[in-house]
Amino acid sequence: MSSTSLGKRRSAASKAALRKVLENTKLKKDVRMAAMNAIAVHFKTSSDLTYLWSKASSDADLKARYYWLKKNVYNMGGK
**pLDDT tens figures, 50-60:** 999 999 999 99
CA 39, 43, 44, 50: dihedral to nearest 10 degrees?
Answer: -60
pLDDT band at 78 (very low <50, low <70, confident <90, very high): low
Residue 38 has pLDDT above 60, yes or no: yes
32, 24 in Cβ contact below 8 A? yes
For residue 21, give the amino acid letter.
V
Give the dihedral sign, CA 23/50/57/61. positive
